[in-house]
Amino acid sequence: MKKAVLDMSQFDQNKLNELDAFIEQYEGENKKESLIPVLYQAQKIFGYLPHNLQRHIALKLALPSAHVNGVVTFYSYFSEKPVGKNTLSVCMGTACFVKGADKLLDKALGITQSKRNEITEDGQFTIKDVRCIGACGLAPVVTVNDKVYGKVSEKEIDDIIAKHQEETHD
């Protein structure tokens, strides 16, 4: 049977080598269990997980592409589209929603003049809504990259955005 060949020319070869070296360390291990760390590393290297990269990972781990895509789309941490320098996520789980998370999301989109899940014009932010992140006691919760903000008010969302804008502006 002919082996499927993926056109990976859109990707930086050094980055691909880095990813492949990472995948190799899982040689002989349960491939399904290595999928999450591999996806995490791939997103760290490339910034996002486009479909061809997901297929590449699926081939390397001998997993069905549909399974890989299912995991990528299930976890809100993973992104199939390019993201801004900062990813601001508003939790829309029940506890956060009843404390006004939808208003925080609208406000964040308004301030950055962006659309949900899309990169802002200046490349600074991607604003996303996510499922419960398990910090319900701090509702409503907003995260920017790895930083968690709890009990966020509408006023504070301005400050959070301004703070990260400053930190990442050249």
The interface region with ligand FES, picked from 56-64, 69-77, 94-102, 115-123 by CB under 6 A, is 94-102
The residues with which 91 forms a beta bridge, in sequence order, are 130
User: Does the protein bind ligand FES through residue 25 (CB under 6 A)?
Assistant: no
C-beta of 16 vs 135, nearer to ligand FES: 135
Q: Which helix (H) or strand (E) holds 128?
A: strand 125-130
DSSP 124: S
User: Judged by CB under 6 A, which of 95, 100, 118, 163 binds ligand FES?
Assistant: 95
Spatial neighbors of 33 by CB under 8 A, at least 6 apart, are none
The interface region with ligand FES, picked from 20-28, 45-53, 117-125, 135-143 by CB under 6 A, is 135-143
* # binding residues, ligand FES (CB under 6 A): 12
Distance in angstroms (rounded) separating the CA atoms of residues 48 and 80: 6
User: Does the protein bind ligand FES through residue 104 (CB under 6 A)?
Assistant: no
b/e sequence 141-164, b meaning 16+ C-beta within 10 Å: bbbbeeeebeebeeeebeebbeeb
Nearest approach in angstroms of CB 75 to ligand FES is 15
Nearest approach in angstroms of CB 154 to ligand FES is 16
Site residues for ligand FES, 137-156, by CB under 6 A, read: 139, 141
Tokens read off for 54: 């997901």
Nearest approach in angstroms of CB 141 to ligand FES is 5
Distance in angstroms (rounded) separating the CA atoms of residues 30 and 46: 24
Distance in angstroms (rounded) separating the CA atoms of residues 59 and 63: 6
C-beta of 46 vs 75, nearer to ligand FES: 75
User: Does the protein bind ligand FES through residue 63 (CB under 6 A)?
Assistant: no
Residue ranges that bind ligand FES, judged by CB under 6 A: 91, 93-96, 132-136, 139, 141
